[in-house]
Structure 1
Amino acid sequence: MAYYNLKKKPVFTTKEGEKETLYAGIVYSGTISSERLISKVAERSGFKEGELAGALIELLNEVAYQIGEGYIVELGDFGYFSGKIKSRLVANKDDIRSQSVHFNGVNFRASKKFRMMARGELERNPYHNFRQSKEWSNEALDKFVTEHIEKHGFITRTIYSQLTGRLKNKALDDLKRMAAKGIIEREGYGNQMHFVKKTE
């Protein structure tokens, strides 16, 4: 189950005299690290985590090499990867030299099957009203985090802020307080930091 919130259409895209409109935007549940993804695949398959991690590294190296050779790479039912290049603007084609043309990123085009498989169920964020109030008890927030972790396995500061409307520093204070109480515990560091249920 994924959640969405309703957002106001940006002012600069609204025509004069047009009524204010809303659109749906997904509320991300966090970022799944490659380590967690490998662990989940290993749990439901006969492959060992080391084998999966090794295969992932080899795929990365080979896909990157083939893109660098000018190929569009099809990766199973995931889709297609292709390179992007960049150069300076010139008025005369003879002013462009190979030294000034370079790779500048990668395009990804998902296959039809992958797009269809990635269509999960959607439900409006049940906590959207949090954004309209500054007064919430610690008990209510503790309950929210506990329920979210039970359903999704973990929570990040970013997703906590998105779902509750708490600003960054306040959200971190909330999560640290819950960790100090023994409700949750921190795993990872930096952009990989997330919180899980406290182990006994």
Structure 2
Amino acid sequence: MSSNDEKSDPQVIRKPIAAESVPWHVWSKGSRFGSRYRHLTKAVMGGDAYHVGVAIEELAPGQQSSPAHYHLLEEEHILILEGRATLRLGDETLEMSAGDYVCFPARQKAGHCLINTSDAPCRFVVIGEQKPDEVCVYTDSNKILVRSVDAVYDKSQVRDYWDGEATGADPGPSSSSSSS
């Protein structure tokens, strides 16, 4: 059995790991977005073959965790371990601190993200699903991510179902049959 087969084989016994043994990874975009994280699930599973992901993230002062978004198919959970952050949830901002927990159910149409408005790092656990057919809506930028086709679409470009289709004929003012 190759190591790739072992990564997705449910019969392979996964042993406990120390979270501190997982290296930090850093991501950022510009001066606004960024964090460092330990992806615990990837460390145990050895790749992307998982259904539920668990990571420890650390958000530096002044940083935002992600663009505000909501999920149509995936559920997401956050538990604050250390520090404080401001949760944007729809039109509300809520202060969170160590011990606070929040869940974002699938189809809850309220964009969410964390912003560290404090002067110290905020460390939290994030738990989320990893569905290949996920659709994610970005509320500030009016975009939609469709994971299954690996594309992000501009939501303002919504079209009618029949736009661009050769229907064969113009049905005229009424396509129903008239009675005499």
TM-score w.r.t. the length of structure 2 is 0.21
TM-score w.r.t. the length of structure 1 is 0.19
Structure (1 or 2) with the greater helix fraction? 1
Structure (1 or 2) with the greater strand fraction? 2
